[in-house]
Amino acid sequence: MKRLPGYRRWKRALIVLSLLILAFMTYVAYVNRTTPDMTSKQKILKAVYPLFMGVTKLFGKNNKVMSNSAMTPAPQSVYDLSVTLNNGNQLALSSLKGKKILVVNTASDCGYTNQYADLQKLYEQFHDKLVIVGFPANDFQEQEKGTDDEIGQFCKVNFGVSFPLAKKSVVISSSEQNPVFAWLTSKSRNGWNEQQPSWNFSKYLINERGVLTHYFDPSVSPMSSVVVAAVEK
């Protein structure tokens, strides 16, 4: 039987595509060889994270950095607030006086989820002067649907997270917004900033005296030079 025009070209293309898919799945399996407690989507997101971050950097997406250059003090003390942790315990922020606090809204099914690993590295590197508090939230395209127990297990097993995680809450502006994020995003409370989280893994840095000093967009890696320099300062 006579082959249709272009048959061989399509056959070669299908073979190449199949090999590329096989190579990609092998790469995904290799990257995730030590992360057993992930869904297929989470494993793919972890594998493509370096490419994802490169693309966002190339196109300038979600890479804003804001700083309190005047060191404007907060009209309302952040140390008046407390955090309900995912195990139900209370963390009074007043107990963190003398240390910097990095507040991050997190999610398990996001392109930025692999930042949990860099957050843990940052936490370990500056454990004597920095506390990181993760705030799981389902506010952006429902990328955090897990329970508090599931989120805690996911973070511990796959990323070795040992910094505090808050009980899942709302971090964007609304009547249900977590009080900590209401403080972080209200100029009348923190003194200068009204930037809401632009997506999962937005970061807010508070210094040793309770002054909000920086906001970092999600595409700014926790181990980037700008974050590390702000922590070291």
**Spacing of C-alpha 192 from chain mean position:** 23
Render pLDDT for 201-226 as a digit per residue (tens, 0 to 9): 999 999 999 999 999 999 999 999 99
Residue 168 tokens, joined: 């899942």
Query: Is residue 17 predicted with pLDDT exceeding 70?
Result: no
Of 58, 77, 99, the position where a domain reaches its end is 58
Query: Among residues 87, 120, 96, 90, which one has the least CA distance to residue 106?
Result: 120
Average pLDDT over residues 114-132: 97
168, with CB counted inside 10 A (0-12, 13-18, 19+), is buried
- pTM for the model stands at 0.86
Tell me, yes or no, whether 49 and 73 share the same domain.
no
48, 81: one domain: no
Q: Taking residues 224-231, report their average pLDDT.
A: 98
Query: Considering Cα of 202, then 186, then 70, then 213, what sign does the dihedral take?
Result: negative
Q: What pLDDT sits at residue 11?
A: 63
- Are residue 35 and residue 125 in the same domain, yes or no? no
The DSSP secondary structure of 165-212, one letter per residue, reads: BBPP-B-SSSTTB-HHHHHHT-HHHHSS--PPP-STT-EEEE-TTS-E
Q: Does a structural domain hold residue 149?
A: yes
Task: Let me know whether 89 and 23 are in one domain.
Answer: no
Structural domain of residue 195, as residue ranges? 65-232
Q: Do residues 210 and 79 make contact, with C-beta atoms less than 8 angstroms apart?
A: yes
Is the pLDDT at 227 greater than 70, yes or no? yes
Residue 78 CA to residue 184 CA, distance in Å, equals: 9
Question: Where is pLDDT greater, at 38 or 65?
Answer: 65
- Given pLDDT bands bounded at 50, 70 and 90, which one contains residue 53? confident
The reply to whether 181 falls in a domain is yes
Query: Which phi and psi angles does 84 have, rounded to 5°?
Result: -85, 115
Residues marked as catalytic: 110
pLDDT given for residue 228 in this prediction = 98
Residues 13, 127: one domain? no
Residue 27 has pLDDT above 50, yes or no: no
The whole-number average pLDDT for the span 59-67 is 92
Report the mean per-residue pLDDT for the chain.
89
Structural domain contains residue 1:
no
Looking at 58, 74, 97, which one is the last position of a domain? 58
- 58 vs 72: which has the higher pLDDT: 72
Which pLDDT band, with edges at 50, 70 and 90, does 28 fall under?
very low
Overall domain count for the chain? 2
Q: What is the domain-level CATH number for residue 93?
A: 3.40.30.10
Give the pairing type, strands 90-92 and 82-84: antiparallel
